[in-house]
Amino acid sequence: MSDKRSPTADLLTTFLVLCTASLGLSSDMCQEDGSDVFNVLDYEVVGDGIRDDSTAFLAAWTAACGAVLDTSTLYIPEGSTFLLNPAKFQGPCMSSSIDVQVYGNIVAPDIMAWTSQNLNNWLIFSNVNGLTVSGNGQIDGQGSNCSRDVCFFDCQALAFRNCNNLQLSGLTHVNGPRSHISVVGSTGLTISNLQITAPKDSPNTDGIDISQSSNVQIHDCIIETGDDCIAMGGGLANINITSVACGPGHGISIGSLGRGGAMDTVEEVHVRNCSFTGTMFGARIKSWQVGSGYARYISFKDITLIAAANPIIIDQFYCTTDKYCTNKLMFKTEAVQVSDVTYDGFYGTSITDNAVKLSCSETVGCTDIVLSNIALTSQYPNHVLSSSCLNAQGTSTAINPVMDCLLP
Ligand SMILES: *[C@@H]1O[C@H](CO)[C@@H](O)[C@H](O)[C@H]1NC(C)=O
Ligand SMILES: *[C@@H]1O[C@H](CO)[C@@H](O)[C@H](O)[C@H]1NC(C)=O
Ligand SMILES: *[C@@H]1O[C@H](CO)[C@@H](O)[C@H](O)[C@H]1NC(C)=O
């Protein structure tokens, strides 16, 4: 559609003809006078938010990914809304890095269109190293009507699989059918300056889910959803989460780990300067009974709570479905080991009277749990906060509520 072409498109066409003819290169390699920008407008998009543009996007992706360049850019301009059916942006790419610049808006089709195809993801980037996704565009998963009956599968809006050195920043993500962003199998990644929003009562709408990854930084995000703000699964190491404002939602979770007897490991997770506003949990570690592995070397520091329920919680008896709720059997007490967890500087208000809950298994327990500078008060007048403790050991200084099980 010539009226949708970028102003320089006609010049480029002339250039492409000359380039392919004189150098014997494929047109993709001659794209935009040897420069590196692949604009979706040059791939016959419609951009009306109604008709499907995924074929055009994938054609632009194939060109960008196949170009032999240091960096190739997939450019999604502002001013249009692109409806994309489920699409897989597959690597590895020929260019050493790929910049996806999202300034326009991207919307999902009706949720039925993809769940009926048994798809777990709407948009997935797979095996792309050196991928940057940035811009101020919006990604709308149209999930606001997604009920448990419709979302049989994971229903992840934007997924990254095996994308090393991923950088994701600037975008707004709304109404994920379930999780908004999911990262698995990636090392060296930064997620920053995102705004993620879904209704408070939308089930399973995690902000960011991450597992099987290492060397991760997540900073300066605002995440308001119906489930976990950030959920960390097994196989994680070296994660810094800084300046993330969570709420509503379920807070920052490590776990659930050890589901169905799985061996899961999480270590070196450091959460700094984060806030929980109106969340159902704050700093949370949860594991299923009968799992194995560990969650260790974890810290939460400088945390602000505003009317949050359950500000600090370790739960080694986590269970949501009867299938894996083996903890009902008293002798099944193996669990993912929780150790070396530090909570330092928690300020604000709790809406549950039991503000600190350490609930650990008889067999492995929780060890070296350190609480300091915990100044929590009830959101309600005349309520005194309490704590509870089962099989947890460690130390505490300057904390309210006090913890009998932790040494001063
Ligand atoms: C949700 O459902 C209502 C009624 O069926 C419909 O009008 C609306 O467009 C749907 N919203 C989304 C985002 O699918
Ligand atoms: C996390 O922060 C610590 C302390 O500032 C730093 O030493 C470490 O390199 C950071 N890790 C990552 C993955 O950014
Ligand atoms: C703490 O996080 C808030 C956003 O929640 C940010 O505005 C502030 O600059 C951060 N402070 C530091 C010291 O990083």
Residue 408: inside a domain, yes or no?
A: yes
Cis peptide before 401 (omega within 30 of 0): yes
Taking residues 237-260, report their average pLDDT.
96
Of all helices (H) and strands (E), which one includes residue 115?
A: helix 111-115
Residue 97: inside a domain, yes or no?
A: no
Question: Torsions phi, psi of 352, nearest 5?
Answer: -105, 140
Q: What is the mean pLDDT of the chain?
A: 89
Please determine, for residue 225, whether its predicted confidence score (pLDDT) is greater than 80.
Answer: yes
Nearest to 67 by CA among 44, 35, 43, 101: 35
Encode pLDDT of 45-54 as tens digits: 999 999 999 9
Encode pLDDT of 181-191 as tens digits: 999 999 999 99
What pLDDT is stored for residue 345 in this prediction?
Answer: 98
- The verdict on the CB of residue 142 being under 6 Å from ligand 1 is yes
Pocket test for ligand 1, best of 105, 107, 110, 145 (most atoms within 8 A of CB): 145
Residue 296: inside a domain, yes or no?
A: yes
Residue 292: inside a domain, yes or no?
A: yes
Encode pLDDT of 314-356 as tens digits: 999 898 776 666 555 555 667 899 999 999 999 999 999 999 9
Taking residues 162-173, report their average pLDDT.
98
- Indicate which CATH number applies to the domain containing 269: 2.160.20.10
pTM of structure: 0.89
Please determine, for residue 403, whether its predicted confidence score (pLDDT) is greater than 90.
Answer: yes
* Cα 96 from Cα 129, distance rounded (Å): 7
Confidence at 154, pLDDT banded by 50, 70, 90? confident
Task: Pick 385 or 202 by higher pLDDT.
Answer: 385
Encode pLDDT of 52-77 as tens digits: 999 999 999 999 999 999 999 999 99
Domain that holds residue 325: 228-408
Q: Would you state the structure tokens that stand for residue 1, as one six-digit string?
A: 């559609």
Please determine, for residue 303, whether its predicted confidence score (pLDDT) is greater than 90.
Answer: yes
* Cα 263 from Cα 279, distance rounded (Å): 29
Residue 55: inside a domain, yes or no?
A: no
Taking residues 202-229, report their average pLDDT.
96
- The verdict on the CB of residue 238 being under 6 Å from ligand 2 is yes
Residue 157: inside a domain, yes or no?
A: no
Count of the separate structural domains present in the chain: 1
CA of 108, nearest ligand number: 1
Share of the chain above pLDDT 90, in %: 75
Block residue for tokens 């559609």: 1
* Cα 58 from Cα 41, distance rounded (Å): 12
Pocket of ligand 3 (CB under 6 A): 243, 245, 273, 275
